[in-house]
Structure 1
Amino acid sequence: MQFDYLKHVTDGLDRNAVLDELMRAYGKDVWNFAYFLTHRRELADDIAQDVFIKAYEHLYSFRGKSSVKTWLLAITRNTARDVLRSAWIRRVTLMPFRQETTSHPSAEQESIDRLMTQQVWAIVFELPRKLREALLLCSHYGLSMSELAETLQVSVGTAKSRLHRARAAVNRKLMEEASITEEEEWT
């Protein structure tokens, strides 16, 4: 869905209708990104709500320098950072990420795929926050390098560097785990 008309909005636009469209189009992406950054469902709910409130309040000031998706993800990132910096959240012990599994008919390939997915997500969640963000925004949300740089508020070169380091770290960890598994098999 294109929101090119937002670049030219005036006070006469029905903000409620636009907010409804934005929530339908990007609500899931905003919530997923908030959850990825915080690892807590209740915080992701609050952050997603705050993001759309901020978008509603600043709808007339949207300049269209980036896509609406990039704009909303940048607001999500900044809101999540503010929440994670708050004194209250720093006193609360965050539980480690645990991938929930659902029961499916047992098939070997489904089981292997699920284990591999869990392994990759566990590795991604172990990355430093800066690398995790770059990897997620590029790989999962499909942002271009310029959009990635704008969302992270860094130069394009820094965004490329973070993405490269994140991919290298995930690959290195997967290779380490694969070599450990092979050694255990032969012992």
Structure 2
Amino acid sequence: MYQKNEKINQDFDSEQQLNELLDLYGQRIQRLIYTYVKDKYIAEDLTQEVFIKVFQNLHLFRKESSLYTWIYRIAVNRAKDYLRTAWVRRTTSLLKSMVKDNYISTENTYLKKAENKQLIDTILRLQIEYREVILLFYIEELTINEMSEILNIKETTIRTRLRRGREKLKKLLQREETF
């Protein structure tokens, strides 16, 4: 699907090509990164970092996959690197403990307003390995093969994570319906 949209000049030597990449993939990459970091502003910053890295390393792109897949893989790796930093782990746990009660009541109020928001929020609560495959498969409409290339995981692992992710999502949604 996305490979058809790759109308980028393959010379990659100017600001124009960078802008073309941003136009084609910017929003999708930012949404992807958001699913990892769950913060709009951090996702914006990391998206910029991803495209700077992409532009600086385009000469290394071997065309063994689509450009889209290659950029997605860089984005996934950057998001995971960010989440591994000690600062993120410390501040995340501190913030969760400080605003847990307030956040839950605010979240419940907002979730009543829109089913789509409820589904996305529920997906975002899944463990990262399930969340990423569900979002890439259903939201980004990537194939198992494309996800395998992006995440550098075997296709059988992708299928297993999709199945388990669907099961966990179903349980979470059923649990929410009872409240």
Structure 1 and Structure 2 fold alike (TM over 0.5): yes
* CA distance in structure 1 between the partners assigned to 2:148 and 2:90 by the alignment: 31
Tell me how far apart the structure 1 counterparts of residues 51 and 87 of structure 2 sit (CA, whole Å): 23
The runs of 5 or more residues in structure 1 that have no matched partner are 103-110, 182-187
**TM-score normalised over the length of structure 1:** 0.78
Note if 1:160 corresponds to 2:159: yes
Match of residue 2 from structure 1: 6
Q: Which residue of 2 aligns with 1:150?
A: 149
1:61: Cα distance to partner? 1.3
Report the alpha carbon displacement of residue 5 of structure 1 after superposing the two structures with TM.
5.5
CA distance in 1, matches of 2:66, 2:7: 8
| Equivalent residues of 1:31, 1:45 under 8 A apart | yes
Deviation (angstroms), 1:157: 0.5
CA root-mean-square deviation: 2.5
Question: What is the distance in 2 between the residues matched to 1:3 and 1:59?
Answer: 15
2:121 is aligned to 122
Conserved? CA contact 2:37–2:43, under 8 Å = yes
Deviation of residue 3 (structure 1)?
Answer: 4.0
2:88 corresponds in structure 1 to: 89
The answer on 1:67 being equivalent to 2:71 is no
Q: How many Å apart are 1:76 and its aligned residue?
A: 0.8
The TM-score normalised by the length of structure 2 is 0.81
Report 1:103-142 matches (<5 A).
Answer: 114-142=113-141
Q: Which residue of 1 aligns with 2:41?
A: 42
- 1:41 maps to amino acid: K
1:23 paired to 2:7: no
Q: Distance in 1 between matches of 2:139 and 2:117?
A: 15
Q: 1: distance between equivalents of 2:9 and 2:22?
A: 16
SS in 1 for 2:158: helix
Report the equivalent of 2:174.
175
- Aligned-pair identity (%): 31
Q: Which amino acid aligns with 2:134?
A: L
- State the secondary structure of the residue aligned to 1:66: coil
Residue pair 1:131, 1:163 contacting (<8 A) in 2 also: yes
- Letter of the 1:60 partner, please give it: H
Structure 1 consecutive aligned stretches of length 4 or more whose deviation exceeds 4 Å: 94-99
In structure 2, list runs of 5 or more residues that go unmatched. none
Write the distance in 1 (CA, Å) between the matches of 2:13 and 2:64: 22
Could you tell which deviates more after superposition, 63-72 or 29-38? 63-72
Letter in 2 for 1:16: E
Instruction: Answer whether contact 1:138 1:144 (CA < 8 A) is retained.
Output: yes
Would the aligned equivalents of 2:8 and 2:21 in 1 still touch at CA under 8 Å?
A: no
User: Quick check: 1:31–1:44 contact (8 Å CA) kept in 2?
Assistant: yes
